[in-house]
Structure 1
Amino acid sequence: MIVSSTRWVGTSSISTVVETSVDVSFCHFFQYIIPIPWSKNCGTWKFPSTVYQHTACLPLVTNTLIDYTFLHYTLLQKMHSRYALLFPALASLASAWAPPSYSGYNLLWADTFDGPGGASPNTNNWNIITGNLGVNGELETYSSSNRNVQLSGGSTIQLVPWADGSASGGWTSGRIESKYTFTPAAGVVTLAEAQIRFGTNDISNKQGIWPAFWMLGDSLRHGTSWPACGELDVLETVDGQLTGYGTVHCNVYPGGICNEPNGRSGNIGIPDQSWHTWRITWDRTSWNWQTETITWYMDGRQFFQINGATIGNSDVWATLCHNPLYFILNVAVGGGWPGYPNSATLGGYGSMMEVAYVAVFQT
C-alpha cells in the first residue's frame, strides 16, 4: 500500500479527464486526500452526475471530467490494488517539499525525502532501526518494511504503526536515525527543524500512539549512557492530543539536573493534525555558556527555552549545546507516558507521522 502526497499553496483550478473505468473509495478519499474538514472551506470539488456513490461508498468513474478548485491543503493520493490514480494531470503541478530560506542563515544539511513511493529513505543519510528496543515499556517492534517506513513518492517520509499479532508486543512501527551529526558552533546561531503532520485518525483512536522528532548526543554511540549523552525532544505528542511537548534530558537518572525521567519541558497547543514546523535554535553568540540559550518553536512561536545558567553545570550544558547531535524520527506505541493502546486504538496511515523535510541552518 502506498500513500503519496503533494502540496499546493494558493488558489488554483484544474480540470482532468479520468480515461479508464476505476473504483475509488471516497470514504478513504475524504479521510486521506482532504484531511482538512469541509467546514474550514478548503475548497470545492464538482463531480458530474456520472459520478455516483454506491452503498459501499465506491463511485464508478468512466471518461469523466472532474473540475475542482482548491485553496490550501495537502492532497494525498491513496493507491492500492483496488484504487487508481484519479488525477494524472496534477503531476505537472507537483513541487518537492524544500526547506525554506532564512535571511542570515546558511543551509548546512537537509533531507527532503525525494524518491519513488514505497522506497526506503536514503541510507546514506539514515539508519533504519529494527527490533524491540526495550525502552520506556514500549510495545512496538521497529521494522524496515515499507509498511512501516516509506517514502511517499511526494517528497515526504511516512512512519506508520500497525497492530500486528505476530510481533512480540503486538505492534510494528518505524524509526529512523540520522547518520549526519551536527554541532551548534560557538559564536553563531544554529537552527534545526522539520515539517511534520499526523494521520487523521480521531483522538479516540490514538490511545498509546507516540510520535516524536528528537535528538540524542552522538556520544551515546560511543559508550556514554543516557541521559548523560544529552537529549533534546523537539516535538512529542501522545494519544492523539493536540499538545506538542519540547523537552530536555540530561545528567543522571533518576533525578539530577534535568529531573529524570521527566526532564525539563514546555508545551504548546497544536491547531490541528496538518503540517506544522517544529524547530530548536541554539544561540551561542554571547560567548558565555551561562547566557547561551536553546529555544523551541512551533510555526515560529516560541514555547520553551532554557539557558546555561538554568542547567548550572558547564559540562552538562555542553552535552546539549556544544557537542555533536543526531536526529531521530519515530512513532512509538505504548509506554509509561502515553499508556497502552486500547480496543479503540487504530494503526495504519491514520496514526502515522509524516515528515516533509529535516534541515539544519547556521548563521
Structure 2
Amino acid sequence: MYAKLLTAALVAATATTVSAESAPGYSGWNNVWTETFNGAAGSSVNSGNWNIITGLKVNNEVQTYTTSNQNLQLSGGATLQIVPRKDSSGAWTSARIESKYTFTPTAGARTLAEAKIRFGDNAIANKQGIWPAFWLLGNSVRNGVAWPACGEIDVMETVNGILTGHGTLHCDVYPNGACGEPNGIGGPVNLSDQGWHTWRAVWDRRASSWSGETITWYLDGNQFFQVSGARVGSQSVWNTLAGSPVYFILNVAVGGNWPGPPNSATLDGYGSMMEVAYVAQYVA
C-alpha cells in the first residue's frame, strides 16, 4: 500500500515559505474547519480555538509545558511555532495545544484531517529526545474515559530528528488489547528532509459494515499506512477511533519512553521547533 495516491485532486501543495497560506481546496471535498495561525509575531494562538496545556508530563517526558511565547508563538507569517527551550539549570520547557473544536468522522462518507508542518534545521545529532507530534485524541478522555480506551490517532510523530514519520493507532486497554499497547498499530514513512510536508489521515466510512471501514495515512498525498476495522477486530473499539468525536493536538515533547532523554548534544530553540502552517478538516 506504500506510495499510492489518494487521488490526483489531493496531492498536497508544495509552498516552502511562511507567507500567509490558506488550507488547500480539494475537488470533491468540503472544508469544514481550518486554523491558519494568523496573528502578530510573538502573539499566542486563538483562545477561542485552542486550549494551551500547561505542566503536563506523561511517558516519562522531561519538559514542562508552558504558555510562554518563548515556547509557543505565532510567527507573524501565518504559522505556529512550538519551540523547546532549555534553561541555565538544564530544565526543559515546551508547548502543547489542543483544539476546542471536535469532529466525528462522518458515517457513509470520507473525513480528512491534515496539517502542513516543518521542523527546525538542527542536525539529527543535536535532536536526541526531541519528539514533535500532530495527533487526535478521543474527546471522551475529557469526560473521564481513560487512555487508551478513549482512542488515539497519531497522524505524525518523529523522534530524535530521524527522518522517519510514524502513523499510529492506540485503543482499547493497556497493556495489549486490540491495538497491542503500548506500541499501538503503526506504520513508518521516510522523509526526504525537515522542510514543509503535509500529513493527513482519512477515515473512509463508506463500507457496508464497520469491519470494512478504514483509516489511511498520507505524506504529501502518498499513502503510507492503512488500518481497517477488521484488523482492530472489535466494533466497539473501532467506534472509539472512527465513530466518536476527536480533537486535534500539536506538541513538541522532550524525552520520554520512546525517544529517550535529551543528551549533552541536544540543542534547543528554533532549530528544534515544529512549525505549522495550517490544520484543516474536510468531508467528502
Query: What is the TM-score when the length of structure 2 is the normalising length?
Result: 0.93
- Is residue 165–residue 171 contact of structure 1 (8 Å, CA) maintained in 2? no
Aligned to 1:5: none
Distance 1:256 1:312 in 2: 10
The residue identity in structure 1 corresponding to 2:92 is W
Pick from 267, 272, 277 the counterpart of residue 351 of structure 1: 272
Of the structure 1 ranges 284-293 and 148-157, higher mean CA displacement relative to structure 2 is found in 284-293
Query: Please, which moves more after superposition, 192-201 or 282-291?
Result: 282-291
Question: What is the deviation of 1:277?
Answer: 0.1
- Of structures 1 and 2, the one with the larger relative CO (CA 8 A, separation 6+) is 2
Residue 286 of structure 1 and its aligned partner are, at CA, apart by 1.4
Q: 1:301, 1:250 → 2: CA distance?
A: 25
| Corresponding residue of 1:161 | 84
User: Counterpart of 2:147 in structure 1: which amino acid?
Assistant: W
Q: How does 1:1-363 map to 2 (within 5 A)?
A: 73-74=16-17, 94=19, 96-131=20-55, 133-165=56-88, 170-363=91-284
SS of residue matched to 1:204: helix
What are structure 1's unaligned runs of at least 5 residues? 1-8, 11-71, 76-93
Query: 1:288 deviation in Å?
Result: 1.1
1:280-304 Cα offsets, whole Å, 9 max, x none, are 0000111310000000000011111
C-alpha distance in 2, partners of 1:287/1:218? 26
Does the aligned pair in 1 maintain the 2:82–2:94 contact within 8 Å?
yes
Equivalent residue, structure 1, for 2:6: none
Instruction: Specify the code of the residue in structure 1 equivalent to 2:75.
Output: S
Q: Percent identity?
A: 64
Deviation sequence 1:83-107 (CA, Å, 0-9, x none): xxxxxxxxxxx5x111111111000
- Counterpart Cα distance in 1 of 2:275 and 2:208: 37
Aligned partner of residue 210 in structure 1, secondary structure? strand
SS at match of 1:317: helix
What residue is the counterpart of 2:5 in the other structure?
A: none
Q: Structure 1: how far apart are the matches of 2:204 and 2:231?
A: 15
Aligned equivalents of 2:238, 2:110: Cα separation in 1: 16
Paired with 1:145 and 1:106, the residues of 2 have a C-alpha distance of: 35
Flag the structure with larger Rg.
Answer: 1
Q: Secondary structure at the match of 1:178?
A: strand
Amino acid at match of 1:246: G
2-structure distance, mates of 1:113, 1:269? 27
Once the 2 structures are TM-superposed, how far is the Cα of residue 170 of structure 1 from its aligned partner? 1.3
Q: Are the counterparts in 1 of residues 16 and 196 from structure 2 also a CA contact under 8 Å?
A: no
Amino acid at match of 2:122: N
CA contact (8 A) 1:186 1:287 kept: no
CA–CA separation in structure 1 for the residues paired with 2:117 and 2:24: 14
**How well do the aligned residues superpose, as a CA RMSD in angstroms?**
1.4
User: 1:156, 1:312 → 2: CA distance?
Assistant: 39
